[in-house]
Amino acid sequence: MVGKLNSNKTETQESKPWALALMGGGARGLAHIGLLEALLENDLVPPIITGTSMGAIIGGLFAVGYLPREIERLSHELSFSRLAKLRQAKIPIPDKLVDYLLLESYQQRLLRQMGRRKGDVLQDKLRELVGEVLIEELPIKFGCNAVDLVSGQEVDFTRGPLYQALRASMAFPFVIEPARLPGRLLVDGGLINNVPIKLARRLGAARVFVPDVHRSLKRMPAKRFDSTLIMVHRLVQVVLTDSTESKLPEADLIIKINPQVDTFDFTRVKQVVALGKKVALAHLDTLKKFAAQGT
């Protein structure tokens, strides 16, 4: 949990605001909620927030005016509740079965997405939460990203309806079906860039703070690769890890937060949120100095 602060700033940088870049991470990303609560309580509200996947959801809701405790409550509605219920089941359910159910469901929903449109419950929920507000109208400057499967390119959202941007950024492969916009099929931005630091700089930030909630990839015994599903799941892990670790060096301040949960373990929301706040408060002096560099 050691913070890394790069103090080599120019006069031009010091005249500009700082940004908070929130990476994706599924349930691990819920630590961002506690961190935001600590920042809010200490008058350290970020002038700029960018996010990917879970980071986009939390950052976007905060930017539109939701308080951290409200976001924590909403996370129960927006998280992968089907999976959380399976994990909480009293009878043992092998991870492979859970993964299979997710993939089978995803394939069926993806086929529907590519065929006749039957509505998007998740997008409707996001629209209900944030209304028709445009990103460029938010009181906190905000941006998030997604990946367009049609072009294979990263797409940054800095304008337009907030609910559409959040829906696109959170479409985690094999769990949530892609979001559809004219000419685009959009999925989780973390596949290409899980830490939108450059986006924060394009929005005007001179210094970018990243709470690092990712877990480094561990070796996986060859004997465990006994199905195509396991291989696909591992491939997604490799891609997400690379798209995180390759971007982190671009940050000016990194504080490690290491929730003891897996990406899809939404059974310990309160503990993860509390850890995020605890770590932020432990580095409060560093955060205050970091924010004050631009004043």
Q: Fill in the DSSP letter of residue 48.
A: E
- In angstroms, the CA 99 to CA 5 distance is 39
Look up 262 and say whether it is catalytic: no
- In angstroms, the CA 33 to CA 156 distance is 23
Q: Fill in the DSSP letter of residue 17.
A: -
- In angstroms, the CA 225 to CA 204 distance is 45
Do 154 and 247 form a contact (C-beta atoms < 8 A)?
no
- In angstroms, the CA 237 to CA 190 distance is 11
Contacts of 215 (CB under 8 A, 6+ apart): 28, 258
- Of the chain, the end-to-end C-alpha distance in Å amounts to 27
Angle at 154 between CA 273 and CA 110, to 5 degrees: 80
The one catalytic residue in 53, 79, 169, 243 is 53
Q: Tokens in use for 54?
A: 């879970």
Q: What is the largest CA-CA distance in the chain?
A: 61
Look up 188 and say whether it is catalytic: yes
- In angstroms, the CA 64 to CA 232 distance is 36
The one catalytic residue in 188, 212, 252, 265 is 188
Angle at 14 between CA 11 and CA 17, to 5 degrees: 150
Q: Are strands 253-256 and 179-181 parallel, antiparallel or unpaired?
A: unpaired
- In angstroms, the CA 181 to CA 168 distance is 9
Give catalytic residue positions: 53, 188
